[in-house]
Structure 1
Amino acid sequence: MRFSPAAASDAGAIRALVRASFAQYVERIGREPAPMLLDWEAILGGEAPRAEVTLAVRGDALTGVLYLELEADHILVDTVAVDAAERGTGLGRRLLELAEERARELGLPEVRLYTNQAMTENVAYYPRRGYVETDRRGDGGYRRVFFAKRV
């Protein structure tokens, strides 16, 4: 497995992986989850200047995506997507670790993230990784659960 920064030419592959990764939640939420609606061309084309997108690649296959937004006092993990064939291998954990490592590199004390309340697997997973629930509220038309971790 290798990790590398995404390029603008990766937008289509990222979109496909994210859509496949989050498709299982559409019925549960009643609409497409927010990561499925992201404009990857704009993000990778510089319209999100404080964004970083990292790819996880095994062989020639894109297996994971980590989308971070760098804020003044924290890193926001906007999206973590893992190919179905890689679930249970620790790739999601490793992607979160990359976010935490990046926060430390930048001297930022905290990593924040959120998930949809209907994604109960994620709501249970993040506390096992050291994230503390900080809020539950409607946000962007979704019911979200917010988490933070000091690094």
Structure 2
Amino acid sequence: MKTRSLLAVVGLAISFAFPTFAQQQKSLKELIVGTWLLESVYDQTQDGEKHNPWGDGVKGQAMFDAQGHFSWMIMSANRPKADTSPRIPVGQAIAYWGTYAVNDEAKTLTTTFERCTFPQWDGRGSTVSIAFPTEDEFQFTVTKPFPDPTLGPIAPHIIFKRAPVP
């Protein structure tokens, strides 16, 4: 009897000391929900070379809700300040929104763009590889490289950190 009690106490102590063993791991669908701030973005060529088309100081944000809606934007820091129409963006920027689905088994994110700053992407979809090294870091990698006029096929890599609660 004493051995069983001792084992029960040790088991309980371990579950408090290492709560990840006592809790079920969150699904990717649960992990992705929230607001994410851009940590880094780069394009990788097929030979492994990394390129930063956005320049220093690039910022971005992505938001995913629990109902399957998302929005996403990335803007370079050194955009010229021009006296143009406020309805015509200036400089390097991309923004889009739509719906999303996560496949836990395949570790993929599939998005459908309702609208995008690039009109040819309206209504299109995309499936990318995703990873969560921690609950507060979200990595996004395009699995099907697409052509770049100067670099050849590239695969964008994006890393977000979870936004702090205000």
User: What TM-score do the two structures reach when normalised by structure 2?
Assistant: 0.27
Question: Which has the larger Rg?
Answer: 2
Q: Which has the higher helix share?
A: 1
